[in-house]
Protein backbone atom coordinates (compact mmCIF):
# COMPACT_ATOMS: atom_id res chain seq x y z
CA UNK A 1 0.00 0.00 0.00
CA UNK A 2 1.43 3.35 -1.06
CA UNK A 3 0.69 6.26 1.31
CA UNK A 4 2.25 9.68 0.77
CA UNK A 5 3.92 11.59 3.60
CA UNK A 6 2.57 14.87 2.23
CA UNK A 7 -0.85 15.94 3.44
CA UNK A 8 -3.08 18.71 4.76
CA UNK A 9 -6.09 18.86 7.07
CA UNK A 10 -8.15 21.76 8.46
CA UNK A 11 -11.06 21.88 10.90
CA UNK A 12 -13.07 24.81 12.28
CA UNK A 13 -15.28 24.68 15.36
CA UNK A 14 -16.99 26.97 17.83
CA UNK A 15 -17.15 26.29 21.56
CA UNK A 16 -18.21 28.63 24.36
CA UNK A 17 -17.73 31.86 22.35
CA UNK A 18 -14.41 30.64 20.94
CA UNK A 19 -13.78 30.21 17.22
CA UNK A 20 -11.09 27.54 16.94
CA UNK A 21 -9.23 26.59 13.76
CA UNK A 22 -6.97 23.54 13.58
CA UNK A 23 -4.44 23.10 10.79
CA UNK A 24 -2.26 20.07 10.18
CA UNK A 25 0.43 19.85 7.50
CA UNK A 26 2.98 17.13 6.76
CA UNK A 27 6.01 16.75 4.51
CA UNK A 28 8.46 13.90 3.97
CA UNK A 29 11.00 13.04 6.68
CA UNK A 30 12.81 9.88 7.76
CA UNK A 31 11.53 10.23 11.32
CA UNK A 32 8.46 11.67 13.06
CA UNK A 33 9.26 15.36 13.52
CA UNK A 34 6.25 17.05 15.14
CA UNK A 35 6.01 20.80 15.68
CA UNK A 36 3.07 22.14 17.74
CA UNK A 37 1.85 25.72 17.91
CA UNK A 38 -0.97 25.99 20.46
CA UNK A 39 -2.16 28.67 22.91
CA UNK A 40 -0.90 28.33 26.49
CA UNK A 41 -4.47 27.62 27.64
CA UNK A 42 -4.28 24.19 25.96
CA UNK A 43 -0.61 23.51 26.76
CA UNK A 44 -1.48 20.89 29.40
CA UNK A 45 -2.72 18.64 26.59
CA UNK A 46 0.38 19.09 24.42
CA UNK A 47 1.84 15.62 25.03
CA UNK A 48 -1.53 13.96 24.40
CA UNK A 49 -1.97 15.88 21.13
CA UNK A 50 1.55 14.94 20.06
CA UNK A 51 0.97 11.23 20.81
CA UNK A 52 -2.31 11.25 18.86
CA UNK A 53 -0.59 12.76 15.82
CA UNK A 54 2.37 10.35 15.87
CA UNK A 55 0.17 7.27 16.36
CA UNK A 56 -1.73 8.07 13.16
CA UNK A 57 0.97 9.63 11.00
CA UNK A 58 4.02 7.54 12.04
CA UNK A 59 6.58 9.50 10.01
CA UNK A 60 7.00 12.90 8.41
CA UNK A 61 7.73 16.53 9.19
CA UNK A 62 4.44 17.50 10.82
CA UNK A 63 3.22 21.00 11.72
CA UNK A 64 0.14 21.35 13.92
CA UNK A 65 -1.30 24.80 14.63
CA UNK A 66 -4.31 25.89 16.68
CA UNK A 67 -5.77 29.38 16.24
CA UNK A 68 -8.33 30.70 18.77
CA UNK A 69 -10.46 33.81 18.36
CA UNK A 70 -12.40 34.92 21.42
CA UNK A 71 -15.86 36.41 20.94
CA UNK A 72 -18.76 37.60 23.07
CA UNK A 73 -18.96 40.50 25.53
CA UNK A 74 -19.00 38.16 28.53
CA UNK A 75 -15.55 36.74 27.77
CA UNK A 76 -12.90 38.34 29.94
CA UNK A 77 -9.56 38.65 28.22
CA UNK A 78 -6.23 40.30 28.88
CA UNK A 79 -3.42 41.41 26.60
CA UNK A 80 0.18 40.64 27.40
CA UNK A 81 1.31 44.22 26.85
CA UNK A 82 5.03 43.49 27.08
CA UNK A 83 4.82 40.73 24.50
CA UNK A 84 2.51 42.75 22.25
CA UNK A 85 4.90 45.73 22.37
CA UNK A 86 7.81 43.47 21.50
CA UNK A 87 6.10 42.08 18.39
CA UNK A 88 4.77 45.53 17.39
CA UNK A 89 8.28 46.97 17.64
CA UNK A 90 9.67 44.18 15.44
CA UNK A 91 6.97 44.67 12.78
CA UNK A 92 7.46 48.46 12.81
CA UNK A 93 11.21 48.02 12.31
CA UNK A 94 10.60 45.70 9.34
CA UNK A 95 8.22 48.30 7.84
CA UNK A 96 10.80 51.08 8.19
CA UNK A 97 13.53 48.95 6.57
CA UNK A 98 11.23 48.41 3.59
CA UNK A 99 10.15 52.08 3.37
CA UNK A 100 6.64 51.31 4.59
CA UNK A 101 4.91 53.70 6.96
CA UNK A 102 3.81 51.66 10.02
CA UNK A 103 0.22 52.27 11.09
CA UNK A 104 -2.33 51.07 13.64
CA UNK A 105 -3.29 48.16 11.37
CA UNK A 106 -0.12 46.41 12.62
CA UNK A 107 -1.95 45.60 15.86
CA UNK A 108 -4.29 43.19 14.04
CA UNK A 109 -1.71 40.47 13.30
CA UNK A 110 -0.05 41.08 16.69
CA UNK A 111 -3.30 40.28 18.51
CA UNK A 112 -3.53 36.98 16.61
CA UNK A 113 -0.14 35.81 17.83
CA UNK A 114 -0.51 32.99 20.43
CA UNK A 115 -0.17 34.16 24.06
CA UNK A 116 -0.53 37.88 23.24
CA UNK A 117 -4.27 37.69 23.89
CA UNK A 118 -5.22 35.43 26.80
CA UNK A 119 -8.45 34.55 28.53
CA UNK A 120 -8.65 35.11 32.28
CA UNK A 121 -9.54 32.70 35.04
CA UNK A 122 -10.37 29.78 32.75
CA UNK A 123 -9.62 26.09 33.23
CA UNK A 124 -9.80 23.63 30.36
CA UNK A 125 -12.87 21.53 31.12
CA UNK A 126 -13.61 17.93 30.14
CA UNK A 127 -16.40 18.93 27.76
CA UNK A 128 -14.23 21.41 25.85
CA UNK A 129 -11.37 18.91 25.63
CA UNK A 130 -13.74 16.22 24.36
CA UNK A 131 -14.95 18.55 21.57
CA UNK A 132 -11.40 19.62 20.77
CA UNK A 133 -10.10 16.04 20.74
CA UNK A 134 -12.85 15.06 18.32
CA UNK A 135 -11.85 17.99 16.06
CA UNK A 136 -8.19 16.93 16.18
CA UNK A 137 -9.17 13.36 15.19
CA UNK A 138 -11.24 14.77 12.32
CA UNK A 139 -8.27 16.85 11.13
CA UNK A 140 -6.03 13.79 11.29
CA UNK A 141 -8.55 11.81 9.27
CA UNK A 142 -8.67 14.56 6.61
CA UNK A 143 -4.89 14.56 6.35
CA UNK A 144 -4.75 10.76 6.19
CA UNK A 145 -7.31 10.73 3.37
CA UNK A 146 -5.21 13.33 1.57
CA UNK A 147 -2.13 11.14 2.01
CA UNK A 148 -3.91 8.03 0.74
CA UNK A 149 -5.23 9.86 -2.32
CA UNK A 150 -1.80 11.24 -3.19
CA UNK A 151 -0.29 7.83 -2.42
CA UNK A 152 -2.57 6.26 -5.04
CA UNK A 153 -1.22 8.69 -7.63
CA UNK A 154 2.39 8.03 -6.62
CA UNK A 155 1.74 4.28 -6.52
CA UNK A 156 0.32 4.22 -10.04
CA UNK A 157 3.42 6.01 -11.34
CA UNK A 158 5.83 3.70 -9.46
CA UNK A 159 4.04 0.53 -10.62
CA UNK A 160 4.13 1.77 -14.22
CA UNK A 161 7.91 2.30 -13.98
CA UNK A 162 8.57 -1.12 -12.42
CA UNK A 163 6.50 -2.76 -15.16
CA UNK A 164 8.59 -0.79 -17.67
CA UNK A 165 11.76 -2.33 -16.17
CA UNK A 166 10.19 -5.79 -16.52
CA UNK A 167 9.46 -5.11 -20.19
CA UNK A 168 13.06 -3.94 -20.70
CA UNK A 169 14.30 -7.26 -19.26
CA UNK A 170 12.34 -9.04 -22.00
CA UNK A 171 13.92 -6.75 -24.60
CA UNK A 172 17.38 -7.74 -23.34
CA UNK A 173 16.62 -11.33 -24.39
CA UNK A 174 16.07 -10.19 -27.99
CA UNK A 175 19.71 -9.12 -28.27
CA UNK A 176 21.23 -12.08 -26.42
CA UNK A 177 21.81 -14.31 -29.51
CA UNK A 178 23.73 -11.46 -31.16
CA UNK A 179 25.61 -10.83 -27.92
CA UNK A 180 26.62 -14.49 -27.57
CA UNK A 181 27.74 -14.66 -31.21
CA UNK A 182 29.83 -11.52 -30.78
CA UNK A 183 31.47 -12.85 -27.60
CA UNK A 184 32.15 -16.22 -29.27
CA UNK A 185 33.78 -14.60 -32.31
CA UNK A 186 35.85 -12.26 -30.19
CA UNK A 187 36.95 -15.12 -27.92
CA UNK A 188 37.87 -17.31 -30.89
CA UNK A 189 40.02 -14.54 -32.36
CA UNK A 190 41.80 -13.95 -29.06
CA UNK A 191 42.43 -17.70 -28.58
CA UNK A 192 43.76 -18.02 -32.11
CA UNK A 193 46.14 -15.16 -31.57
CA UNK A 194 47.21 -16.48 -28.15
CA UNK A 195 47.96 -19.97 -29.47
CA UNK A 196 50.10 -18.52 -32.24
CA UNK A 197 52.16 -16.50 -29.79
CA UNK A 198 52.65 -18.83 -26.83
CA UNK A 199 52.41 -22.51 -25.94
CA UNK A 200 49.32 -23.17 -23.75
CA UNK A 201 48.20 -25.88 -21.36
CA UNK A 202 44.91 -27.19 -22.86
CA UNK A 203 43.49 -28.19 -19.42
CA UNK A 204 44.28 -24.88 -17.78
CA UNK A 205 43.02 -23.00 -20.82
CA UNK A 206 39.72 -24.85 -20.67
CA UNK A 207 39.29 -23.95 -16.97
CA UNK A 208 40.00 -20.29 -17.66
CA UNK A 209 37.55 -20.29 -20.55
CA UNK A 210 34.79 -21.78 -18.40
CA UNK A 211 35.47 -19.19 -15.68
CA UNK A 212 35.45 -16.37 -18.24
CA UNK A 213 32.18 -17.52 -19.83
CA UNK A 214 30.50 -17.83 -16.42
CA UNK A 215 31.53 -14.27 -15.61
CA UNK A 216 29.86 -13.03 -18.79
CA UNK A 217 26.61 -14.96 -18.28
CA UNK A 218 23.73 -12.61 -17.36
CA UNK A 219 21.01 -15.20 -16.72
CA UNK A 220 21.21 -14.93 -12.92
CA UNK A 221 21.06 -11.12 -13.02
CA UNK A 222 17.95 -11.19 -15.22
CA UNK A 223 16.22 -13.77 -13.01
CA UNK A 224 17.05 -11.90 -9.76
CA UNK A 225 16.04 -8.53 -11.21
CA UNK A 226 12.74 -9.97 -12.37
CA UNK A 227 12.10 -11.48 -8.91
CA UNK A 228 12.93 -8.18 -7.21
CA UNK A 229 10.51 -6.34 -9.51
CA UNK A 230 7.75 -8.85 -8.82
CA UNK A 231 8.36 -8.61 -5.06
CA UNK A 232 8.29 -4.80 -5.34
CA UNK A 233 4.92 -4.89 -7.12
CA UNK A 234 3.45 -7.36 -4.60
CA UNK A 235 4.59 -5.11 -1.73
CA UNK A 236 3.07 -2.04 -3.41
CA UNK A 237 -0.27 -3.81 -3.72
CA UNK A 238 -0.23 -5.22 -0.17
CA UNK A 239 -2.01 -3.78 2.87
CA UNK A 240 1.05 -2.60 4.83
CA UNK A 241 2.58 0.87 4.48
CA UNK A 242 6.03 -0.20 3.34
CA UNK A 243 7.96 2.83 2.11
CA UNK A 244 11.20 1.76 3.81
CA UNK A 245 10.80 -1.82 2.60
CA UNK A 246 10.29 -0.64 -0.97
CA UNK A 247 13.45 1.44 -0.64
CA UNK A 248 15.47 -1.66 0.27
CA UNK A 249 14.00 -3.63 -2.64
CA UNK A 250 14.86 -0.75 -5.00
CA UNK A 251 18.48 -0.92 -3.81
CA UNK A 252 18.62 -4.62 -4.71
CA UNK A 253 17.13 -3.86 -8.11
CA UNK A 254 19.84 -1.28 -8.64
CA UNK A 255 22.59 -3.79 -7.86
CA UNK A 256 21.30 -6.26 -10.44
CA UNK A 257 20.87 -3.55 -13.09
CA UNK A 258 24.46 -2.33 -12.53
CA UNK A 259 25.86 -5.88 -12.77
CA UNK A 260 23.82 -6.50 -15.91
CA UNK A 261 25.31 -3.38 -17.46
CA UNK A 262 28.89 -4.29 -16.53
CA UNK A 263 28.52 -7.75 -18.13
CA UNK A 264 26.53 -6.70 -21.19
CA UNK A 265 29.26 -6.38 -23.86
CA UNK A 266 26.53 -5.24 -26.23
CA UNK A 267 25.59 -1.68 -27.16
CA UNK A 268 21.85 -2.38 -27.48
CA UNK A 269 21.71 -4.07 -24.07
CA UNK A 270 23.71 -1.19 -22.58
CA UNK A 271 21.08 1.23 -23.91
CA UNK A 272 18.34 -0.86 -22.27
CA UNK A 273 20.30 -0.83 -18.99
CA UNK A 274 20.50 2.97 -19.13
CA UNK A 275 16.70 3.09 -19.52
CA UNK A 276 16.32 0.75 -16.53
CA UNK A 277 18.56 3.02 -14.43
CA UNK A 278 16.54 6.06 -15.45
CA UNK A 279 13.27 4.40 -14.43
CA UNK A 280 14.78 3.21 -11.13
CA UNK A 281 16.07 6.70 -10.24
CA UNK A 282 12.57 8.12 -10.77
CA UNK A 283 11.17 5.34 -8.56
CA UNK A 284 13.66 6.20 -5.81
CA UNK A 285 12.70 9.88 -6.01
CA UNK A 286 9.04 8.98 -5.52
CA UNK A 287 9.85 6.65 -2.61
CA UNK A 288 11.33 9.57 -0.66
CA UNK A 289 7.77 10.78 -0.13
CA UNK A 290 6.22 7.38 0.67
CA UNK A 291 5.27 6.37 4.21
The structure's pTM equals: 0.71
DSSP state of 99: T
pLDDT for 265: 78
Give the integer Cα–Cα distance in Å for 59 and 38: 21
Q: What is the domain partition of the chain in residue ranges?
A: 77-120, 151-287
Looking from the CA of 217 toward its CB, the CA atoms found within 13 Å total 9
Query: pLDDT confidence of 74, banded at 50, 70, 90?
Result: very low
In this predicted structure, what is the pLDDT of residue 121? 47
Q: What integer is the mean pLDDT of 78-94? A: 84
Mean residue pLDDT across the chain:
85
Q: What is the pLDDT of residues 131-188, one digit of tens each?
A: 999 999 999 999 999 999 999 999 999 999 999 999 999 999 888 877 766 666 666 6
pLDDT > 60? residue 96? yes
* Strand (E) or helix (H) holding 21: strand 18-27
Phi and psi at residue 119, in whole multiples of 5°?
A: -85, 150
Amino acid sequence: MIVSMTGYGRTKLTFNNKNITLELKSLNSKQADVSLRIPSYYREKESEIRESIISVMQRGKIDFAMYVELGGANVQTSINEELASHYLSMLSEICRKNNIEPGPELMVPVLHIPEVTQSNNEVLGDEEWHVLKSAIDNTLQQLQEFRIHEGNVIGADIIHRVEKILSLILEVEIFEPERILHIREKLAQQLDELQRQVQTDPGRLEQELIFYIEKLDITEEKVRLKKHCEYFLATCRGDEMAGRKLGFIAQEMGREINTLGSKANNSEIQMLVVQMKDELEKIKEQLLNVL
